[in-house]
Structure 1
Amino acid sequence: MYSGGMSMNTSERLIEATRELLWERGYVGTSPKAVQQAAGAGQGSMYHHFAGKPDLALAAIRRTAEEMGAVAEAVLGGEGTAYSRIEAYLLRERDVLRGCPVGRLTMDPEVVAEPALRAPIDEVIGRLRIRLAEVVQQGLDRGELSGSLDADETAATVLATVQGGYVLARATGSRAPFDSAVRGLLALLAPRDAD
């Protein structure tokens, strides 16, 4: 099969189609037939590249987790104060009403029950929490953030605000609860001007 040129090769199309379907439908709702149709690939082609649905799902979940980690690091590893980097992370462009593609996977019973599928999710969430805690600790060390903050607890709060904000937005069909949660957390983290 020809896979050169500017177009995505079959393996990439299958992974991307699976990522989208997992986000929209979850693991059970992501049938091999739906993946093949979305990717414009035949059954033989799918099984040439992947051993089966679990193998393809794992490749898709790994890609989604890697992308989430890279996007977060691009913001958190940037210039500026700890507060400005956390603010940039919280305010970055998101498709709030679709929910977090990684967060959605944590609510999928089949994904959570399968250690191999859950592992990339656990890893990226763990790395993100550690990275957020590092940024908070930098802010504490530099006197940019309130000395009463605990870096690990604050990192957990940032993650919980984002993930909970997605849930509230999806439940109401409006991004307003997400935006409100982010503004509330930023107000709590905002450096206090010395009197």
Structure 2
Amino acid sequence: MYTPRMSTPDRLIEATRELLWERGYVGTSPKAIQQHAGAGQGSMYHHFAGKSDLALTAIRRTADEMRETAGRVLDAPGSAYERISGYLLRERDVLRGCPLGRLTMDPEVVASDALRAPVDETITWLRERLAAIVREGLDRGEFAPCIVPDDIAASIVATVQGGYVLARASGSTDAFDAGVRGLLTLLGPPIEPVLHI
């Protein structure tokens, strides 16, 4: 998001973030970045070594923002189920997809250890944070004892990322919403058996 007082480097970073989300790394040219940011070629190369350097800065900023947003929900008060539910149900631009998840489909990002690192680190952080919350829930008896925290964390991330793909393919958020509802139903607290006398 641009502001009138934003510096040229920040405008370039924000433009790159937007274009990476829209077009991916391969589809984002230095010229498009400069036009989007309202900056000249000299400005871009004065502040950044090139497209890769600027993209890495933009990806890191997106990763930091995503961690902060997820962290606010996951660190909120409430039961483990409520926090996971809050994460799954939080407001998202579902049809636009995930700005980091999208980069996993980009061959140049996947081939570059440097560009891929912030994506992998963020997904790993999210899985570990979710697994810790599931462990808390298990300790409190919120979940069925057979639940494996790391598996559930991977399922949550896969549901969100896969939900984006399904939503984008159909042009509707219905599939994303259905996936979230299904996962929350499966994660629901264990039901105490009814004893008939």
- TM-score tier, shorter chain, comes to over 0.9
Deviations 1:89-121 (Å, cap 9, x if unpaired)? Answer: 000000000110010001111100010000000
- Give the C-alpha shift of residue 147 in structure 1: 1.1
| Alpha-carbon distance in structure 1 between the residues aligned to 2:181 and 2:79 | 18
Please give the residue correspondences for 1:89-108 in structure 2 after superposition, counting only pairs within 5 Å.
89-108=87-106
**Amino acid corresponding to residue 137 of structure 2 in structure 1:** G
- Give the C-alpha shift of residue 193 in structure 1: 3.5
| Identity across matched positions, percent | 69
Please give the residue correspondences for 1:48-127 in structure 2 after superposition, counting only pairs within 5 Å.
48-127=46-125
3-state SS, counterpart of residue 100 of structure 2: helix
Say yes or no: does 1:11 pair with 2:9.
Answer: yes
Unaligned runs of 5+ in 1: none
Question: When the two structures are aligned, how many residues end up with a matched partner?
Answer: 191
- Give the C-alpha shift of residue 6 in structure 1: 6.1
3-state SS, counterpart of residue 101 of structure 1: coil
3-state SS, counterpart of residue 62 of structure 2: helix
Say yes or no: does 1:137 pair with 2:146.
Answer: no
Question: What TM-score results when the alignment is normalised by the length of structure 2?
Answer: 0.95
- Give the C-alpha shift of residue 28 in structure 1: 1.4
| Alpha-carbon distance in structure 2 between the residues aligned to 1:6 and 1:53 | 24
What do you get for the CA RMSD once the two structures are aligned?
1.1
3-state SS, counterpart of residue 143 of structure 2: coil
| Alpha-carbon distance in structure 2 between the residues aligned to 1:79 and 1:147 | 23
3-state SS, counterpart of residue 29 of structure 1: coil
Deviations 1:45-99 (Å, cap 9, x if unpaired)? Answer: 1111100000000000101111111111110111000000000000000000011
| Alpha-carbon distance in structure 2 between the residues aligned to 1:153 and 1:31 | 38
**Amino acid corresponding to residue 156 of structure 2 in structure 1:** V
| Alpha-carbon distance in structure 2 between the residues aligned to 1:69 and 1:146 | 28
**Amino acid corresponding to residue 116 of structure 1 in structure 2:** A
| Alpha-carbon distance in structure 1 between the residues aligned to 2:31 and 2:4 | 25
